[in-house]
A and B are shown apart, each in its own frame.
Chain A
């Protein structure tokens, strides 16, 4: 059998398989950057996948692949998924961006959904992200109220706009309730590496930081905070991290992808799927603040809940002026609200943060 007939027969088998699938079940596939047991980012995406299964029962089939490296392997994994008859493929990490678009070009009938990216080079590629900065505002408020040393910390992953938004929102709302607060940012250059994250937390604790927020996915920073006998608190990240309740985990920011995944897979099933760029937050239930524990005083808890209610109702935007950039130049005038374009490409700190964005 020569190569051409082989390819032809493979294509035939594929289209037959695809047709058979389209009649009875829809196959939704997920590519994860970490293990589904990471307790954070990937775990939450997998919860979303399970919600799809739950919502549609035996009308959908889900498949996934975990710990897929960003880079050369991603493109192969995506192609194999496409060949295996997936109807919609969710690629759940920024680093899959180019691979997602490259594979989407080869399989125009399959829908691709890329998390946190900005490239939609083909009509079958959509992107989606969450407004994590809305949740960070609430955590910042709690941090500003709770810190005794007036030093709060942020374990950052990579200097990308999503993380910069989080740092700015966290700091702004801590500063608002505590003008003396000082922010320490530590770059871990990883999304998931418990030992590096623990080192970062330890380094900050040694500098006198007593409230730690993390933008990395493991529970290690909370584990490090727990060693300080209540003197240091932190927040659950991506997932609730309830094991560290009531302290050091005093609240958490939860990514809830389930509503989006259920909606998009549903759209594929009834043929209404369209390309889009979704950026949902608290109002849509995509960003959720987990239980605020009794370690937080009742009045602070009430204020935090009021902020959650205001953001959810669309009455308050965490980036509302007056806000200046770190270099002192004006960004937002009194009452002005940041536009999505600026936020999506955010590459500057707000006034008061003394650190530099690594470059």
Chain B
């Protein structure tokens, strides 16, 4: 008889190896899936995981693109992980990402066509503020009225999308755009352009901000008293209250950080890779970042690696579509599998398998 037995403390070894198992299982089952779709499974897996890094034709372009794609994912996921550690579930990072972009872009466009060096820093500030303010809505509702932050933050995504649609065909529309929706293109306005810091590397300010966030989150969670309070609130809420940690403060702090970081990600994206506010500017980074946060075990370094891995599956997935003609939905399925297998193998972190009769544990 096979039994699962709860471990007294989660296994550190398994915490580290389950993501690797999840990736391997995804490769195996995903390969079979591509096989059924008529593609060579080995070629498909190689195209997704190897070609973006080492293909002679694509790699020089797609390696920097990994950073471009991973940057916002990491930045948002870092913010989310802090809240998740405290048991505060911000599911609405997508909305905060949109509002950061909208508010930041609006602050910049109000100054068009100024070429002051202060334009971009001001936009960064406005972007962070926009995301923060959007996250404060569920925070205040939760602390004042006890509403559920999962529902409120998720619902606010749809409100943000509607605002996005409205401003791209109204308030922020490019006056020279012949009536078509979409703002001015920030790539054509040097003062507001989030250009690559070193050309050809994919390293723009958003990627730099993501790396800084990784380090800051590491210091906060490992070395700072607030980090300890956050973890304590998540692991033992009653103990935290006895220790004098204010739950209200933790909620406001966690949602504030994750909202501000998501807002920053939106701002860096709209002024950089995306270039303009459009009706469907958001591309699900806010939701994908939830997967990245869990894949990275809510640990800053883990999130860094998970973000890069996720970016790899995106770019490799695009190549697989292009080169092998596999359908786009199969790539999404493939990414979904990754989270599924991670959650499934997670069981071994908290439980150990016992084979045989019930013994003394």
A residues near B (Cβ < 8 Å) are: 3, 6-7, 9-10, 13-14, 17, 29, 35-36, 63-73, 75-77, 79-81, 83-84, 94-95, 98, 102, 118, 158-161, 189, 344-347, 358-359
Contact A80:B274 (CB < 8 A) given known A71-B280, A94-B180, A359-B169: no
Tell me how many residue pairs across A and B have CB atoms closer than 8 Å: 117
Contact A35:B328 (CB < 8 A) given known A80-B58, A159-B181, A347-B179: yes
Which of A14, A65, A95 has a CB less than 8 Å from the CB of B322?
Answer: A65
CB closest chain-A residue, reference B162: A189
B residues near A (Cβ < 8 Å) are: 56-62, 65, 68-69, 162, 165-166, 169-170, 178-182, 185, 187, 200, 269, 272-276, 278-281, 283, 315, 318-319, 321-323, 325, 327-329
CB closest chain-A residue, reference B275: A98
Q: Judging by beta carbons under 8 Å apart, are A67 and B328 in contact?
A: yes
Q: Judging by beta carbons under 8 Å apart, are A160 and B181 in contact?
A: yes
Min C-beta distance of B193 to chain A, whole Å: 13
Report the Cα distance A35→B332, complex, angstroms: 12
Residues from chain B with Cβ under 8 Å of A9 in the complex = 56
8 contacts between A and B (CB under 8 A): A17-B57, A70-B278, A71-B283, A72-B272, A76-B65, A84-B58, A158-B181, A345-B178
Which of B56, B69, B170, B185 has a CB less than 8 Å from the CB of A359?
Answer: B170
Report the Cα distance A14→B55, complex, angstroms: 12
Residues from chain A with Cβ under 8 Å of B318 in the complex = 65, 73, 76-77, 80
Contact A63:B322 (CB < 8 A) given known A71-B281, A160-B181: yes
CB closest chain-A residue, reference B319: A80
Top 9 A-B residue pairs of the complex, sorted by shortest distance between their CB atoms: A72-B273, A10-B60, A72-B274, A67-B328, A347-B179, A66-B328, A189-B165, A69-B283, A71-B274
CB closest chain-B residue, reference A346: B179
Residues from chain B with Cβ under 8 Å of A17 in the complex = 57
Report the Cα distance A77→B331, complex, angstroms: 14
Determine which residue in B56, B60, B180 has the highest number of CB atoms from chain A within 10 A of its CB, and name it: B180
Report the Cα distance A35→B180, complex, angstroms: 24
Residues from chain A with Cβ under 8 Å of B58 in the complex = 10, 80, 83-84
Report the Cα distance A344→B179, complex, angstroms: 10
11 further A-B contacts with Cβ under 8 Å, apart from A9-B56, A71-B283, are: A3-B200, A6-B60, A7-B200, A29-B322, A35-B327, A35-B328, A71-B280, A73-B318, A159-B179, A189-B279, A346-B179
Determine which residue in A71, A73, A79, A118 has the highest number of CB atoms from chain B within 10 A of its CB, and name it: A71
Min C-beta distance of B187 to chain A, whole Å: 8
Report the Cα distance A328→B9, complex, angstroms: 76
Q: Judging by beta carbons under 8 Å apart, are A35 and B329 in contact?
A: yes
Report the Cα distance A118→B182, complex, angstroms: 14
Report the Cα distance A83→B281, complex, angstroms: 25
Residues from chain A with Cβ under 8 Å of B178 in the complex = 118, 161, 344-345
Q: Judging by beta carbons under 8 Å apart, are B280 and A70 in contact?
A: yes
Min C-beta distance of A67 to chain B, whole Å: 4
Q: Judging by beta carbons under 8 Å apart, are B283 and A73 in contact?
A: yes
Min C-beta distance of A287 to chain B, whole Å: 21
Report the Cα distance A10→B57, complex, angstroms: 5
Report the Cα distance A337→B273, complex, angstroms: 43
Contact A10:B273 (CB < 8 A) given known A65-B328, A69-B283, A71-B278: no
Residues from chain B with Cβ under 8 Å of A65 in the complex = 318, 321-322, 328
Q: Judging by beta carbons under 8 Å apart, are B57 and A69 in contact?
A: no
Residues from chain A with Cβ under 8 Å of B179 in the complex = 159-161, 345-347
Q: Judging by beta carbons under 8 Å apart, are A10 and B328 in contact?
A: no
Min C-beta distance of B165 to chain A, whole Å: 4
CB closest chain-B residue, reference A75: B273
Report the Cα distance A98→B187, complex, angstroms: 10
CB closest chain-B residue, reference A33: B280
Q: Judging by beta carbons under 8 Å apart, are A72 and B322 in contact?
A: no
Residues from chain A with Cβ under 8 Å of B165 in the complex = 189
Q: Judging by beta carbons under 8 Å apart, are B322 and A76 in contact?
A: no
Which of A84, A98, A358 has a CB less than 8 Å from the CB of B170?
Answer: A358
CB closest chain-B residue, reference A159: B169
Min C-beta distance of A42 to chain B, whole Å: 11
Contact A80:B279 (CB < 8 A) given known A35-B328, A66-B328, A189-B165: no
CB closest chain-B residue, reference A347: B179
Report the Cα distance A118→B178, complex, angstroms: 9
Min C-beta distance of A85 to chain B, whole Å: 8
Min C-beta distance of A216 to chain B, whole Å: 13
Residues from chain B with Cβ under 8 Å of A84 in the complex = 57-58, 322-323
Report the Cα distance A83→B55, complex, angstroms: 11
Min C-beta distance of B341 to chain A, whole Å: 23
Min C-beta distance of B114 to chain A, whole Å: 22
